[in-house]
Structure 1
Amino acid sequence: MKVIICGAGQVGYGIAERLSQEDNDVSVIDTEASLINVITETLDVRGYVGHGAHPDVLAKAGAEDADMIIAVTLHDEVNIVACEVAHALFSVPTKIARIRAQNYLQPEYADLFSRQNMAIDVTISPEVEVGKMVLRRISFPGATDVVRFADDRISMVAIECMEDCPVVNTPLQQLSQLFPDLMATVVGIYRNGRVLIPRSADQLEVGDLAYVIAQREHVRRTLGLFGHEEQEAGRIIIAGGGNIGYYVARTIEEHQPRTRIKIIESNRERALAISEQLRNTIVLHGSALDQHILAQADIQETDLMVTLTNSDQINILSAVMAKANGCKSNLVLINSSSLNQVTDSLGIDAQINPRAVTISRVLQHVRKGRIRSVYSVQQGTGEVIEAEALETSPLVGRPFRELDLPDGIRIGAIYRGGEVLRPSGDTKIKSRDRIVLFAVPEAVRDVEQLFRVSIQYF
């Protein structure tokens, strides 16, 4: 596939890195020559210095025979125009734009980005996507990652196996026998820096991160089975009142009115603005690294500190300080993948990488076959995929025990007519079933083949 990426920042770089690893033909455009130099020196991509919305620059990047344009510059208007130009002049089939400003995304303007109004097929709002991720983490304490699939009826939950985890050293098949009514399946294991696809006879070990696909209503019970009985936070402090922090606070106000929220925002004008828009949230002006501000926010009585500023360093340090001052747990936003490895030693309980969230949204439109959703884990070493089975799929009509699934794939759940099914040896996949599975990168092409359709449009 030939892809043009407008924007060579952190998100653009991450998308280019992933797509180039999968042997796609990738061109990257950015106005900053230094960013283009870095990306062309480190990745197998072509770089072009220029404005991503200018026709001549798009032409140089090969827009005439491109399959997709992904506009992820820092400016929404540039992203919108780049997609419009790619459509009008070069007939690029698939156009994806990152939209950050919430003004564009308000419900009353829902039709703005519909295909009949704008030549954009997919809009991605990193702030909203990350905000939803934060809210899911808050709802399920004890989980290090939570993502929903199949109309929100199926969840993928990443659960750390601690010393007191009751299910370690027990064959996975035996767990299914002990809890036959639990709609949950272990589909992946992250162990010693590697992602493994478990078999029924395999066992979990202390220190493992287990990836479990479960019916949404069974997630809390699954966490309890793994020894995670943490209570949902009643008192939350949010460091950073930007788009993400405001979105999280506003949503909690609407759906969990009993939760007490405080926001620490360093910009005075922003602090005043969000204090007028939020009804029950206390907004404090100051730095999340200031001991006096933390004391004023009653950090010692807080259940959860969520750090969502634009600085990884501030997010990490303020989360560490919060726990040192008596806060029970923390959740940290970290953009840089190089910092992910050091957080455990610093006492960070959970973290979110916004780049990974955005890349996952893009991947579902790159994947061939009837792929409905994709979520990338552990910096691309595993993927959770939701795909729809058609009559032509080799999976349809045969019992699971007769399926010769390729290595590197494990099916976790089936969504059929509003009902969630856990696969067993007798289960037969039907046409239009939606399958949620876990796959390693080497098996992604096999997944595409399993859910292939006769004609592809890209």
Structure 2
Amino acid sequence: MKIVIIGAGEIGFDLANVLSTEKHDVIVMDHDKECLSRVSSSLDVLPIEGNATSVKDLVKAQVGDCDILISVTSIDEVNMISGMIGKRLGAKMVIARIRSDDFTDKDSPITPTDLGIDVMIHPELSAAQEISQLLKRSSASDVINLADGRMQLIGIRLEKNSPLIGKSLIQYSEDYPDLTFRVVAIVRRGRTIIPDGSIKLQNYDQIFVLATTEDINSIVKTTGKKETELNSIMIAGGSDMGAMLARILCADKTKEWSIKLIEPDYEKAENLAIEMKDVMVLHGNPTDPDLLATEGISDMDAFIAVTDDEESNIISCLMGKHLEVKKTVALVSKPDFIPLAQTIGLDAVVNKKIAASNEIHRYVHQGRVLSVTELRGIKAEVIELEATPNSKVTKKPVKKLSLPSGSLIGGIVSDDKVEIATGNTQINGGDRVIVFCVPSDIDKVTKLFQ
């Protein structure tokens, strides 16, 4: 598939990295020579220097011949104009990063399709929604809803006192015969393992467990952790993501949240205080330890750091953990910080680039691929596929399928039931199947379902 990415910043680079790894024909265009140099020296893509709003430069980037045009510069207007031109030139699908509420609002007089944009993505909003999910699962480092919410994949870090340490996955399953679940991936000292039943769990392993949503609380208890209610939340950083998170929590009618939000810009803080009556908005430096202590960080159930300074996010979250805050979540952008953050004691991290990548992925793998989700800090992805009636996966039970070595079938979803896959599970045509695999194996896996 030919894919043109406009914008070689953080999100564009990450997308180019993922899509080129999956063997797509990727072209990256940007006006910044330094960004393009980073792309060309690190990735197997074609870099093009040019202006995203220039018809001549877009033609040079072969936009008219591409299957997907992805415009992810930092400026909404540039993304919209390049998307409009790309559609006119012949791009089959246009995906644009647009953060303005003027276009995301359901009552807006102009829709993205009016501008020739097929899909609009909002990485900050996606990341804020991800944080809200993490706040509902206090013990999890990751929470991913699958199969329309009927299944969940959760990431849990095993502490030294976990009863699972030293047990094989077979023993783990045998000890809890009333629970149906599957450990689909393990991160151990920075290495990703797609496990078999014989592997034994070790201190500080981060395990990813797939189960039906109603069984998740019981699964958490087996690891030695406890789900606790999180009510009082402190958010460091009120622009973009921090404000979005506060709005999402205020709109949640299932519980009452007590929210403090710290914003360094006085005018923004004032506007947020006027807008959000249920949130205590404070003006100050959200990375100032004295301010955090004065405002009662030690009394908070959760501390969320989403400022633009990721080092400060990590440090302030570590301070929160030192003061026994039950859950800390930091916004980070550098890939190297993702595994490091949890190693040094943070509960969870979020990443806007991964949120954007997950949104775009399902449009890249169209057809029988229903969704693709990249996991943070782990070299594996979650794919939700639909099996065609005569595909190879419907011919044999799961244990006899010739799956690539870096892949594993986790769950099966049909109209009337949800089940965790075992070796004897039979996949039928029309079933939705949840598969875990390394990025390089995605194409091999999807061919088995066609």
TM-score range, shorter chain: over 0.9
1:103 aligns with 2:102: yes
1:21 aligns with 2:21: yes
Change (3 A) 1:187 1:318: same
Counterpart residue identity of residue 249, structure 1: A
Counterpart residue identity of residue 148, structure 1: N
Whole-Å separation in 1 of the counterparts to 2:365 and 2:377: 17
Which consecutive unaligned segments of at least 5 residues does structure 1 have? 453-458
Partner secondary structure for residue 392 of structure 1: coil
Alignment of 1:205-284 (within 5 A): 205-255=202-252, 256-284=254-282
Whole-Å separation in 2 of the counterparts to 1:10 and 1:394: 38
Partner secondary structure for residue 363 of structure 2: helix
Partner secondary structure for residue 248 of structure 1: helix
Equivalent pair of 1:238/1:305 in contact (CA under 8 Å): yes
Whole-Å separation in 2 of the counterparts to 1:221 and 1:110: 47
Counterpart residue identity of residue 281, structure 1: V
Counterpart residue identity of residue 358, structure 1: A
Equivalent pair of 2:22/2:440 in contact (CA under 8 Å): no
Whole-Å separation in 2 of the counterparts to 1:327 and 1:401: 44
Change (3 A) 1:295 1:47: same
Q: Which moved more, 1:199-208 or 1:12-21?
A: 199-208
Equivalent pair of 2:386/2:432 in contact (CA under 8 Å): yes
Q: Which moved more, 1:190-199 or 1:38-47?
A: 38-47
Instruction: Count residues with an aligned counterpart.
Output: 449
Q: Which moved more, 1:15-24 or 1:328-337?
A: 15-24
Structure 1 residue 385, shift from structure 2 partner = 0.9
In the TM superposition, what whole-angstrom CA distance separates every residue of 1:327-361 from its partner, at most 9, and x where no partner exists?
A: 34311010112333543464422211221221222
Equivalent pair of 1:369/1:451 in contact (CA under 8 Å): no
In the TM superposition, what whole-angstrom CA distance separates every residue of 1:390-442 from its partner, at most 9, and x where no partner exists?
A: 11321125333443333222111111115311223443212221111211234
Structure 1 residue 111, shift from structure 2 partner = 8.1
Match of 1:456 in 2: none
Equivalent pair of 2:190/2:339 in contact (CA under 8 Å): no
Alignment of 1:126-137 (within 5 A): 126-137=123-134
Normalising by structure 2, we get a TM-score of: 0.93
For residue 200 of structure 1, the aligned residue among 183, 197, 200 is 197
Alignment of 1:235-384 (within 5 A): 235-255=232-252, 256-325=254-323, 327-344=325-342, 346-367=344-365, 369-379=367-377, 381-384=379-382
Match of 2:45 in 1: 45
For residue 408 of structure 2, the aligned residue among 404, 410, 415 is 410
Whole-Å separation in 2 of the counterparts to 1:144 and 1:230: 12
Whole-Å separation in 1 of the counterparts to 2:151 and 2:329: 23
Change (3 A) 1:157 1:346: closer
Change (3 A) 1:50 1:268: same
Equivalent pair of 2:138/2:327 in contact (CA under 8 Å): no
Equivalent pair of 1:147/1:155 in contact (CA under 8 Å): yes
Partner secondary structure for residue 108 of structure 1: coil
1:32 aligns with 2:32: yes
1:5 aligns with 2:5: yes
Whole-Å separation in 2 of the counterparts to 1:358 and 1:62: 23
Match of 2:184 in 1: 187
Change (3 A) 1:325 1:288: farther
Change (3 A) 1:137 1:178: same
Structure 1 residue 174, shift from structure 2 partner = 3.6
Whole-Å separation in 1 of the counterparts to 2:340 and 2:172: 33
Structure 1 residue 325, shift from structure 2 partner = 4.5
Counterpart residue identity of residue 11, structure 1: I
Equivalent pair of 1:369/1:449 in contact (CA under 8 Å): no
Partner secondary structure for residue 411 of structure 2: strand
Alignment of 1:62-141 (within 5 A): 62-89=62-89, 91-109=90-108, 112-113=111-112, 115=113, 117-141=114-138
Partner secondary structure for residue 288 of structure 1: coil
Whole-Å separation in 2 of the counterparts to 1:449 and 1:176: 31
Whole-Å separation in 1 of the counterparts to 2:189 and 2:323: 32
Equivalent pair of 1:364/1:372 in contact (CA under 8 Å): yes
Counterpart residue identity of residue 35, structure 2: L
Whole-Å separation in 2 of the counterparts to 1:144 and 1:378: 10
Counterpart residue identity of residue 167, structure 1: L
Match of 1:57 in 2: 57
Whole-Å separation in 1 of the counterparts to 2:242 and 2:206: 28
Structure 1 residue 192, shift from structure 2 partner = 2.8
Structure 1 residue 448, shift from structure 2 partner = 1.4
Which consecutive unaligned segments of at least 5 residues does structure 2 have? none
Equivalent pair of 1:266/1:286 in contact (CA under 8 Å): yes
Partner secondary structure for residue 151 of structure 1: helix
Partner secondary structure for residue 143 of structure 1: coil
Structure 1 residue 157, shift from structure 2 partner = 0.9
Change (3 A) 1:271 1:56: same
1:165 aligns with 2:162: yes
Counterpart residue identity of residue 62, structure 1: Q
Change (3 A) 1:328 1:133: same
Equivalent pair of 1:265/1:284 in contact (CA under 8 Å): yes
Whole-Å separation in 2 of the counterparts to 1:433 and 1:444: 18
Whole-Å separation in 2 of the counterparts to 1:18 and 1:380: 13
Normalising by structure 1, we get a TM-score of: 0.92
In the TM superposition, what whole-angstrom CA distance separates every residue of 1:92-145 from its partner, at most 9, and x where no partner exists?
A: 1121111222332123349823x4x34222221101110111011111111111
Whole-Å separation in 1 of the counterparts to 2:255 and 2:203: 37
Q: CA RMSD in A?
A: 2.2
Match of 1:423 in 2: 421
Structure 1 residue 14, shift from structure 2 partner = 0.9
Whole-Å separation in 2 of the counterparts to 1:127 and 1:59: 30
Structure 1 residue 11, shift from structure 2 partner = 0.5
Q: Which moved more, 1:301-310 or 1:192-201?
A: 192-201
Whole-Å separation in 2 of the counterparts to 1:157 and 1:233: 17
Partner secondary structure for residue 198 of structure 1: coil
In the TM superposition, what whole-angstrom CA distance separates every residue of 1:138-184 from its partner, at most 9, and x where no partner exists?
A: 11111111111211221111111221222233332343344344232
Whole-Å separation in 2 of the counterparts to 1:152 and 1:170: 30
Structure 1 residue 82, shift from structure 2 partner = 1.5
Counterpart residue identity of residue 98, structure 2: I
Whole-Å separation in 1 of the counterparts to 2:115 and 2:426: 42
